[in-house]
Chain A
Amino acid sequence: MRSFAFVRTDDVSAAIAASADSSTAQQGASARFVAGGTTLIDLMKLNVERPERVIDINRLPLDRIEPLADGGLKIGATVRNSDLANHAVVRRDYPVLSQAVLAGASAQLRNMATTGGNLLQRTRCMYFRDTASACNKREPGTGCSAILGANRTLAILGTSEHCIATNPSDMNVAMAALEATIHVRGIRGERSIAIADFHLLPGDTPHRETVLEPGDLITHVTLAPPAPGSRSCYLKLRDRASYEFALASAAVIVTVVGGRVARARIALGGVGTKPWRSTRAESVLTGEPVSGPAFRKAADAALHDARPRSQNAFKVELARRCLVHALKEVTL
């Protein structure tokens, strides 16, 4: 691990000012906030992250979950994943979010991990984590070792010729289906970003993963009120039953009226370079009768653009079945 200056503050403006002169908020940042540390410190040990300044944001007043006047929910950036998943309102109104968070990592890690940190967790692609390998995400222009390498766990949706790294988060998949809004404060004030616009596709700049700029601090996330009459769930498929990243996962929120799907929100995990909302699957499903064949059609639509590589073709069918199963779970 490289040396760094350690900064702690309980003031939001001071935290922002302390990170504002960073070269970038993306790969190669010279200043980093540390929340739970479960992504950042892991990668600093591997020299994948080499910040010169680390700003501890754990004392900022961003650790609360509060109901909003419109019936929605405000979730602070430093709320621990375990507190989020076990919160009574989250369990009642947003079961998909509670289930997704509890499906991730371990009890210890969830006690550390935060809302903001989870939104920004990095890929588990082994070439990204290994400074001896070529990786366009870590070192732009060096090439992608994964495309012809060990790519079994990597993405099949949203990939490019420069990067096929998976966004590994479970929470983000539920947040995508819930159409969460991410609230950021930076040197130029506050702004809010729809989660669909927050993460970027790799394209030819895989080192740019989000729209964040130097100084930007995620302050909180807001959720709209739960859709009336909707049911939701998160289904995660993986190599072992727990403490393992997803090979494929699905977050679904469905409202059924008179035996037909009146509204659907669908997002996939473990298969995309970003949390993968499928509006195409949603529109295919909407208006259809609740039935296996309709679910299968939606799953085909969701995976229509899948581009598997040498070792991960199995993920196409795995993701389809995962989605079909999740849809059955909330409708039958």
Chain B
Amino acid sequence: MNSRTQFESATGADGVVHVTLRINGTAYRLPLDPRATLLDCLRETVGLTGTKKGCDHGQCGACTVHVDGRRVNACLSLAVMHEGEEITTIEGIGQPGALHAVQSAFLARDAYQCGYCTSGQIMSALALLGEPCGPKDADVRECMSGNICRCGAYPNIVAAIQHVRGKS
């Protein structure tokens, strides 16, 4: 079947797909198993372990990263789907000594306990700043509902975000 080989050209005979991903401004040429999620690719292949795996099923938000500036769950996306897109992880928004304002606010407001959910919370919070989200604490809670915190640091997470928005 001629057409079929043409369509399957994306996957090589060895089952590997060669993809260039742009992550935090750097291009990575990667041989990927099509099954690899963006989350596993970031953590295992590229070695960026700041992005966390909580549930692996879209139910917790620990894996939140930005794709072309929009927040998504990296666990429910295949890495091979993101050729040509700009991926931003927690490692790409600030560095020790030069923290992003959202990172500083999380520190100042003590917006975490164990810290496992924190990179996802911060990536979500950063995206929220550019989304239609009402001014109230309740609005922030709704917009942040896709990030679960098992430690229950929610009040301080909301306070940190409202601080950055100038609403506290």
Contacts and interface: CB of A to CB of B under 8 A. Distances in A.
Given A45-B56, A108-B146, A7 B11 contact: yes
Nearest to B146: A106
Contacts, number: 105
B17 interface: yes
Chain B CB count within 10 A is highest, among A1, A14, A58, for A1
A42 interface: yes
A109 B35 contact: no
A196 interface: no
A109 B131 CA distance: 14
A235 to B, nearest CB: 16
Interface of A: 1, 3-9, 14, 17-18, 21, 34, 36-38, 41-42, 45, 53-56, 58, 82, 86, 105-109, 111-112, 241-243
Given A3-B35, A17-B7, A38-B73, A107 B57 contact: no
Given A1-B35, A86-B132, A242-B145, A107 B81 contact: no
A243 B73 CA distance: 14
Nearest to B68: A111
B124 interface: yes
B50 interface: no
A6 B57 contact: no
Given A45-B57, A86-B132, A107-B124, A8 B10 contact: yes
A241 to B, nearest CB: 8
Interface residues of B, number: 40
A42 B81 contact: no
Contact of B127 (A38, A41, A107): A107
A53 B8 contact: yes
A17 B146 contact: no
B8 A5 contact: yes
Contacts of B34: 3-6, 54
A111 B72 contact: yes
B58 A109 contact: yes
Interface in B13-59: 15, 17, 33-35, 37, 56-58
Interface residues of chain A: helix, strand, loop or mixed (majority): mixed
Contact of B128 (A41, A107, A242): A107
A36 B73 CA distance: 10
A81 B139 CA distance: 19
B95 interface: no
B69 to A, nearest CB: 10
Contacts of B143: 107
A57 to B, nearest CB: 10
B145 A106 contact: yes
A106 B61 contact: yes
A108 B7 contact: no
Contact of B146 (A3, A6, A107): A107
Nearest to B143: A107
A239 B145 CA distance: 14
A109 B81 contact: no
Contact of B76 (A18, A37, A56, A82): A37
A5 B34 CA distance: 7
Interface in B134-161: 141-148
Nearest to B15: A3
A15 to B, nearest CB: 9
Contact of A41 (B17, B78, B132, B146): B78
B28 to A, nearest CB: 18
